[in-house]
Structure 1
Amino acid sequence: MLTSFKTLIKKWRASRDSGHQLDALLAIADKSAPYPDRSEWLIELAHWIRRGRAVHPEQPGTASPTPAHTRIRYMLNVLDRNPAWKSNVAGILRALLRESDGLSLLCDAGMPVHSGFFGALFERLEASLIPPAPNRRDLRAIVTLMFSQERDAEWIANLPTDLLTRIRALFDYEQDDSEQRDTTPFSLDLLAALHNLTCQISSTGLSQTVRSRLGEVDVGDAGDVRVAMEKQPFYRLTRAMLAVEAAHQAVSEGAPQEKLLHEVNYLRLLLDECRSATDNVFAHLYRNGVSVDIVFQVERMRMRIVRAEHLLNAWMAQDDPHAGARLTAELVNANHASQSVAHLVRSNFSLLARKVVEYSADTGEHYIARDRAEYLKMLRMAAGGGLVTVVTVCVKFAITGAHLQSMFEGLLAGINYAASFLLMHFLHFSLATKQPAMTAPTLARELDGTGTPAGVDSFVSSVTALMRTQAAAVLGNVMLVFPVCFGVQWVWHALFNANIISPEKAHATLHSFSLLGPTPFYAALTGVLLWSSSLLSGWADNWFVLHRVADALAYNRRLRMTLGAAGTARLAAFCRSNVAGVVGNITLGLMLGLVPAILTAFAFTFEVRHVTLSAGSIGIALGVLGKDALKLPELWWAVAGVGSMAILNVAVSFALAFYMAVKSRDLRRNAVRSLRGAIWQRVFRHPLELVWRPAKAAPHPDRVQ
C-alpha cells in the first residue's frame, strides 16, 4: 500500500495541469492509510493551494483576489461533486487532528528556546537543513511542512466567511458516532494549551530573576510578605485558570453560562496585570542595567501572555470561523519567525542595542549643548582637547619616526591615543567627532516620545543641537591644534635647529590627507571605530550597574578598613561616574592604533583619519615646509581632505548611533522615514541652527533646571 501511494504521489507531481493535479491528489486520498502517508498527502495538498497561479473558478463572480482562496474554493467544489473523495479528505483531516500533538503548535510554536544567539542560530540552521519528518505525530511539524513561506499567514487570516464555513463543514462531513466518542474536541486542546501557558507564565513571573525586579513588595500594615506576594498577578494566575476549567465543566453539566464568563473575564484581567508587570521589569532594567538573558526571559513571558490571550479569544468565540482563522494565521506566522535566521538576527540585534543603549542616557546628554551658554562651554572644552592633541600629534610622529615593526608601532600609537583621551576625560575636555557615537542612549530616550508632534519636535531639536555641538567641538579642536602645532614646530626649529619631521615626511603627510585619495574611505572607517568605542563604553556602564559593582566597592570590608566608610563611598561614586568614560577612551585609543595595523597586515591598507589629529599633522607639516607650501596644491587638497574627515567622522558615527537607537526601540520603517524627513525639514528651514543657537532656547523636558 505504501509503495502504491508513493507511486501515485510521483505521478501527481509529474502532472503540469493544476486541475488534473488536484483531481489526481484527491483521488488518492485514503483516510485509512498510515499516519505518514496521510501527513504527506496533506502537505502536498497545502503546496498545491499555495502555488501562485490561480485555477479558474467554475462560477463567474466567485473568484477571490488571492490565488490561494481561489484554489481552496475550486477544491471544495470538486469535493462537493465527488462524495467519496470528500469523505476520505474529511477523515484524513479529523484523524490528523486526533492523532497529532496539538500542544506543540498551540504552546510552543514561535516561542524562543535559547537566550544565546549562537545556540539559537545553530538550531535554526539545523532545522533548515533537516526539516521535520511527516511521520512525527506533531502538529507543529505538519504546519511547518505545510506553510513554509511568510506570506501564508496573510492569506489564511483573510479567508472569506463563506470559505471558512465550508471548511468547517468539511471537517464534520460524515463523522460517525465512533469517531465522535474517540475524538477529543479541539476546544479541550485549546483549554489544555491555556493551562500549559498560564503555568509557564506564572513560573517565570514568580522566579527570583523576575520577582526581584517587580519593585518593592508592599507588605501593608500587617508586615506579612507572604500575603503581599499572594496579591501578585503571577501568583493568582494558575488559580484563575483552574477556576475557568471548573466553570467550563460545570457549564457542560448544565450550569448557567454567567459563571464561566465571570471567570474568563477575571483571567483576562490577570493576564493584563501580568503584561503590566513585565513593563515594570523593563523599567527596573533600564534604571539598574540590562541583561540580555533577563530580557529574553521577560520577552518570552510576554509572548506567552499574548499567545494565551489569543487562545482564550479563540476558545470563547468557537462559533466565529474568523477567530479560528486568525489564530491559525498567528500560529503560522509565529512558527515561521521561530525558524527564520533573519528574524533571529533582527531580534538579537535589538536586544544588544537595548543592552548597550538603555542605561547611559545621562552620559550622552553631556555631549549636547542646547543653549548658547552650553555652546560656548563646549567651545572651551574642545579648545582644551585641541591643546592635549598637540602633544598627541608630536608623540605620534616620534613613534612613526622610530620605524618599528608595524604591530608594535600600532600598540604604542594606541597607548598614546588612549593616554591623551583619558587626560581629556579627567580634565573635562572634549574631542571632536566622539560625541555623536556617545549619544545613542539620549537619542533612544528621545525616540520614546516621537508618537506625538511635540515628541518629534523634541527629537529633531536634540539632533540639531547635537550637530551644533559637534560643530563647536570641531571648531574648538582645530582652532587650537593647528596653530599650536605650527608654533611648536617653529619653536622646536628655533631652539634645536631641527624639524620634528623631515621635509619628505611633511610632503608625504600632506599627500596622504588629499581629498583625491582614499581619505574619505579612511575617514568613514574611523567613524565606525568611534561608534564601536561607544558600544563598549555603554556595555561597560551597563555591566557595572547590572552587577552592582559600586555597592560591592562601597561595602567592601578591606577597603573600608583602609579608606574608611566615607572614602570607600567616594571611591565607589568615582568608579561609577567614570567607568564608561575610561573604558570608552581606552578602547578608542587602542582601536585607533591597532586596527589599522591589523587590517593592513591581514586585509587591506587602512590609516586613521581623524579631523583633529590630521589638522595637527598639517600644522606641523606646514611649519616644516614654510610659507612656500601655501603655493602647493597638495596643501589645499589636504585641507579639503580634513574637511571631508570632519563631515564623515561625524556623519558615520551619528548614523550608526541613530541606527542603534532605532533598533533598541523597534521602530517601523515608516516612523524612521518620517523622522528623517522632519530632520531635513528643520535643516532647510533653519540652517544656521547647525552652527549657532539663538540666545533663548526652549528648555528641554528631560533637563534639570
Structure 2
Amino acid sequence: MEQTLIRMMDAKSDPVTSLKELIDALRPAKASDTVTAVNNARALCYLLEQHADYRAALRKQLFALLGTTRQVQLYTDTGILSNESFFTAIQRRVGSKLLPPPINPDYLKDLFGVLFPNRNDYLWLNAIPKEVWFEVGDAAHTEELSMFEIPTHIRLQQLEAIQVLSCRLSAIGLEPEIVLHHPDVERFESPFVRLNAEVLSYIERYREDLTARRPPDEDHLHIFVLLDQCETIIAKVWKMAAKNGASVSLTYHLLRLKQHIDRLKVLFQLVDSTPEAKHSPALLGLFLELVKAENRKYSVRDVLRENTELLALQVTEHASHTGEHYISETRREWLQMFRSAAGAGVIVGFMALIKILSAKAHLPPLLEAFTFSMNYALGFMLIHILHFTVATKQPAMTAARIAAALPSLDNKKTDSYTELVELIIKVIRTQFIAIIGNVLLAAPVALGIAWLWWYELGYHVVDTTKADKMLAELMPISGNAVFYAAIAGCCLFLAGLISGYYDNKSLYNQIPQRIAAMPLLNKILGEHRSRRLGQYIEHNLGALAGNFYFGIMLGSIGTIGFLLGLPLDIRHITFSAANLAYAISAYEFTLAWPIVAWGALGVTIIGVTNLFVSFTLALWVAMRSRKRHLRELKPLWGKFWRRALSRPIDLFIAPKTPSTEENSHA
C-alpha cells in the first residue's frame, strides 16, 4: 500500500492505474473477510496521517481523474432504474453480460467498473464501519485545500447531474398515472414543476459564483422543501394505490421518483463545500450504492426483484386484508369456521367421486386433464360462492397478515412481538378447526356415497385393485405423498398470489364500476342488479380467480408430468381423506386396522406438508415485499412457546370472548 502511495507521487503516473492499485491493496482476499478490510482501511488512515506528501499525491490523483472525465452519467444513471420496459432491461443485461460494451475512458461511469471490477467489491466495502470511512476522509485533510484548488469541472459536472435529475423528476411526476392518483395536481401548481424552476435558478447562481471565483450561494433550503412536497405526493399516491390498486407501470414510476429525489438530496450535499459535508452518511451511502450498482449492472435477478417487489407488496397487501376473514377471535367465530369448513368437506366428498369416475373413463390425456381441472376449479368456486372454506387456502392469506403485523425494524424490544404471538395463536386454532371441519365431513360423506352407490348399483365405486393403489398413494415415502403434497402446497401458494393479483387488478381497472355501467347488462338485468353484480365482483373476483386457477393447477399437473415423463402429481389433505374412505368401502370395512391407521397417518402428513409449504412460501414473499427477512422472526419463537405452554388449549379452542383469556396473556 505504501509503495502504491509512493508511486502516486510521480507526476507521470496514471490516475486510473494508481487508484486501481490502491483499491487492490485495500481489497481483502475474500469479500467476507471483514477484519482484513477494516485493518487495511485503518492502515491507509495511518499512512495518510503520517505523510503529508502521500495524502497530497492521493488528492492530486483523485482530482486528476474527476477533473478530466464526464461524471453526469454516473450520478444520473448508476443505481437508478432506467426508463425502459421490463423485457428490454433483461435483454440489455443479458446481451451486455455475453458481449460487454467497450470502455470509454472519457466517462467516469465506465472507469468506475475498472476501479471496482470484482462483482463482490460492494460486500467488503459495506462491511467497513462508517466511522472508519470517516477516518479515511479526515486523514485526506481536504481542508488543506481551498475550494478554488478543486477543479471547476468537477462542480460543473455535479451541477449538470442535478439539472438532469431535476428535469427527469418533473417529467415522471407529471405522468398520467401519477396525476390520476393525485388529482390535486390539476388544481394547484405541481411541486415537480416548481422544483425544476428552482433548481435551474440555483444552478445559474452557482455557475455565476464559480465564474466570478467567489464562494457560491449554497442556499437550497427551498429546494429541499419542494422535494419534501414531492415525497408527500408519492406517499399520497401510494395510499391511493393501496386502496384502489396498482399497476406495474405505476409502481415503476413511484420507485423511480423516490430514487431521483434521494439522489438529488445527496448531490446537493456533494456540492456543499462546508466542512460538515464530508462526514455526511448520505455521501458515503452514495459511494457504496454506486459501487454496488456497478458490480451488479448485469444482474438479471436484480431486474426481476426491482420490477416485482413493489407490485408484490400490493398483491400481498390485498391478501392480508383477505386473511383477516380466516382468523377467529371468539368461540362463536371459531364454530362458524368449523361450519364453513364442514360445508366444504361435503362438497369435496362429491368432487372426489367425480374425479374417480373421470379417471375410470380413461379419456385422452389432454381431455382428462381438462375434466380433472374443471372438476376442481368449479368445485372450489362453488365452495366459495356458498361461503364455505377450504382449510388449505388459509395459509397463503394469513401469512400476509402476519407479515403486516411484524414490528418495525426500529422496534427491537421483545415485548413488541406480544401482539404478533397472539395473532399466530389465533391463526393456528382457526387453521386447526378448519382442517377438522374439512376432514370430518369429507370422509363420512365419501363413505355415505360409497355405501349408497353399492346399495343402488350393486358394485363399489372403486374395486380392490384401485383401492390398493389409492392406499399406496397415501404412504409418505413409498407413495411419494410428501413430495406430491409439497407440490400441492406450491399450488396453494400460487393461488394466494393470484387472488391478490386479481383483487388489485379489479380495483385498479375499476372493473366493478365498469360492470355496473355496462349498457347491455343494465338492459338485461336492470340497473340495480348490475350494480349488485359489480359489488359482488369487487369483493370476490380475487377469490374466484384464485380458486379457478388452483383447480386448473391441481387437475393438470399429473398430466403434465405424464407428458414430460416426470414424477409430478398432487396430494391434498381433504381429497386424500375422501379417497381413504372410498378405499375402505371397497373392502367393505374389512381392512386391518394398521392399514387404516397408516392411511390416516398419511393423510395427516399430507395436510401438514400442504400447510407448511404454502405458509412458508407465502410468508417469505410477504416479508420480502416489505423488505423484511425471515430471520427477523427469531425473537418470536421463544415468546410463542412460552405463551403456548402457559395455556395450550388456546391453540385448539377459541375463548368465549377475546378479552377474558387472551388479553390477560398479551
Q: TM-score, normalised by structure 1?
A: 0.82
Alpha-carbon distance in structure 1 between the residues aligned to 2:587 and 2:232:
69
Match of 1:580 in 2: 542
Contact between 1:251 and 1:260, CA under 8 Å: does it hold in 2?
Answer: yes
Q: How does 1:337-356 map to 2 (within 5 A)?
A: 337=293, 340=296, 341=299, 342-356=301-315
Deviations 1:169-189 (A, max 9, x none): 59969x9x9x98xx4253343
Match of 2:664 in 1: none
Deviations 1:586-633 (A, max 9, x none): 1111110101221243253133211111111111111121332034x3
Alpha-carbon distance in structure 2 between the residues aligned to 1:366 and 1:90:
63
Letter of the structure 2 residue corresponding to residue 431 of structure 1: V
Deviations 1:426-451 (A, max 9, x none): 11111121111233443344347686
How far the C-alpha of 1:683 sits from its partner, in A, is 3.4
Alpha-carbon distance in structure 2 between the residues aligned to 1:474 and 1:584:
19
Contact between 2:48 and 2:140, CA under 8 Å: does it hold in 1?
Answer: no
Deviations 1:218-241 (A, max 9, x none): xxxxxxx5xx422x4323212332
Match of 2:82 in 1: 113
Q: How does 1:618-697 map to 2 (within 5 A)?
A: 618-631=580-593, 633-668=594-629, 670-697=631-658
Of 139, 142, 147, the match for 2:111: 142
Matched, 1:292 2:253: no
Q: How does 1:596-635 map to 2 (within 5 A)?
A: 596-602=558-564, 604-631=566-593, 633-635=594-596
Contact between 1:384 and 1:430, CA under 8 Å: does it hold in 2?
Answer: yes
Alpha-carbon distance in structure 2 between the residues aligned to 1:144 and 1:423:
58
How far the C-alpha of 1:483 sits from its partner, in A, is 1.5
**Alignment gaps of 5+ in structure 1:** 1-17, 32-36, 54-62, 218-224, 700-705
Alpha-carbon distance in structure 1 between the residues aligned to 2:380 and 2:169:
48
Pick closer, same or farther for the CA change 1:91–1:246 going to 2, 3 Å.
Answer: closer
Matched, 1:200 2:168: yes
Alpha-carbon distance in structure 2 between the residues aligned to 1:644 and 1:234:
57
Letter of the structure 1 residue corresponding to residue 23 of structure 2: A
Match of 2:421 in 1: 460
Contact between 1:432 and 1:611, CA under 8 Å: does it hold in 2?
Answer: no
Contact between 1:611 and 1:646, CA under 8 Å: does it hold in 2?
Answer: yes
Match of 1:562 in 2: 524
Alpha-carbon distance in structure 1 between the residues aligned to 2:367 and 2:140:
73
Pick closer, same or farther for the CA change 1:198–1:672 going to 2, 3 Å.
Answer: farther
Match of 1:471 in 2: 432
Alpha-carbon distance in structure 1 between the residues aligned to 2:98 and 2:23:
21
Of 335, 340, 361, the match for 1:402: 361
Q: Secondary structure at the match of 1:629?
A: coil
Alpha-carbon distance in structure 1 between the residues aligned to 2:406 and 2:547:
27
Identity over aligned pairs, percent: 27
How far the C-alpha of 1:77 sits from its partner, in A, is 6.8
Letter of the structure 2 residue corresponding to residue 585 of structure 1: N
How far the C-alpha of 1:309 sits from its partner, in A, is 1.4
Q: Secondary structure at the match of 1:285?
A: helix
Deviations 1:646-697 (A, max 9, x none): 2111121111121121112112455333345544444344432221111111
Deviations 1:552-573 (A, max 9, x none): 2222233333333223212222
Q: Secondary structure at the match of 1:377?
A: helix
Q: Secondary structure at the match of 1:370?
A: coil
How far the C-alpha of 1:328 sits from its partner, in A, is 5.1
Matched, 1:540 2:502: yes
Q: How does 1:364-379 map to 2 (within 5 A)?
A: 364-379=323-338
Match of 2:40 in 1: 67
Alpha-carbon distance in structure 2 between the residues aligned to 1:470 and 1:166:
61
Q: How does 1:26-425 map to 2 (within 5 A)?
A: 26=8, 30=12, 38-52=15-29, 65-71=38-44, 73-74=46-47, 80=53, 92-113=61-82, 116-131=85-100, 133-147=102-116, 148=118, 149-150=121-122, 151-153=124-126, 155=128, 157-159=130-132, 163-165=136-138, 167=140, 183-184=151-152, 186-214=154-182, 216=184, 228-230=187-189, 232-245=190-203, 248=206, 260=217, 263-320=219-276, 322-323=278-279, 327=283, 329-337=285-293, 340=296, 341=299, 342-425=301-384
Contact between 1:510 and 1:638, CA under 8 Å: does it hold in 2?
Answer: yes
Pick closer, same or farther for the CA change 1:69–1:104 going to 2, 3 Å.
Answer: farther
Alpha-carbon distance in structure 2 between the residues aligned to 1:237 and 1:547:
31
Letter of the structure 2 residue corresponding to residue 489 of structure 1: A
Contact between 1:392 and 1:416, CA under 8 Å: does it hold in 2?
Answer: yes
Alpha-carbon distance in structure 2 between the residues aligned to 1:160 and 1:439:
44
Q: Secondary structure at the match of 1:111?
A: coil
Alpha-carbon distance in structure 2 between the residues aligned to 1:635 and 1:524:
23
How far the C-alpha of 1:312 sits from its partner, in A, is 1.8
Pick closer, same or farther for the CA change 1:523–1:162 going to 2, 3 Å.
Answer: closer
Pick closer, same or farther for the CA change 1:115–1:381 going to 2, 3 Å.
Answer: farther
Alpha-carbon distance in structure 1 between the residues aligned to 2:629 and 2:362:
52
Equivalenced residue count is 645
Pick closer, same or farther for the CA change 1:674–1:119 going to 2, 3 Å.
Answer: farther
Q: Secondary structure at the match of 1:316?
A: coil
Alpha-carbon distance in structure 2 between the residues aligned to 1:171 and 1:141:
30
Letter of the structure 2 residue corresponding to residue 109 of structure 1: T
Pick closer, same or farther for the CA change 1:617–1:272 going to 2, 3 Å.
Answer: same
Pick closer, same or farther for the CA change 1:283–1:694 going to 2, 3 Å.
Answer: same
Alpha-carbon distance in structure 2 between the residues aligned to 1:559 and 1:674:
55
Match of 1:221 in 2: none
Q: Secondary structure at the match of 1:66?
A: helix
Letter of the structure 1 residue corresponding to residue 255 of structure 2: E
Alpha-carbon distance in structure 2 between the residues aligned to 1:200 and 1:136:
26
Contact between 1:432 and 1:470, CA under 8 Å: does it hold in 2?
Answer: yes
Q: How does 1:490-509 map to 2 (within 5 A)?
A: 490-509=451-470
Pick closer, same or farther for the CA change 1:395–1:561 going to 2, 3 Å.
Answer: closer
Letter of the structure 2 residue corresponding to residue 205 of structure 1: G
Match of 2:395 in 1: 436
Match of 2:487 in 1: 525
Letter of the structure 1 residue corresponding to residue 76 of structure 2: C
Contact between 1:194 and 1:311, CA under 8 Å: does it hold in 2?
Answer: yes
Pick closer, same or farther for the CA change 1:44–1:397 going to 2, 3 Å.
Answer: same
Contact between 1:440 and 1:660, CA under 8 Å: does it hold in 2?
Answer: no
Deviations 1:436-475 (A, max 9, x none): 1233443344347686678633333333222211111111
**Alignment gaps of 5+ in structure 2:** 31-35, 661-666
User: Bigger CA drift: 309-318 or 343-352?
Assistant: 343-352
Contact between 1:550 and 1:573, CA under 8 Å: does it hold in 2?
Answer: yes
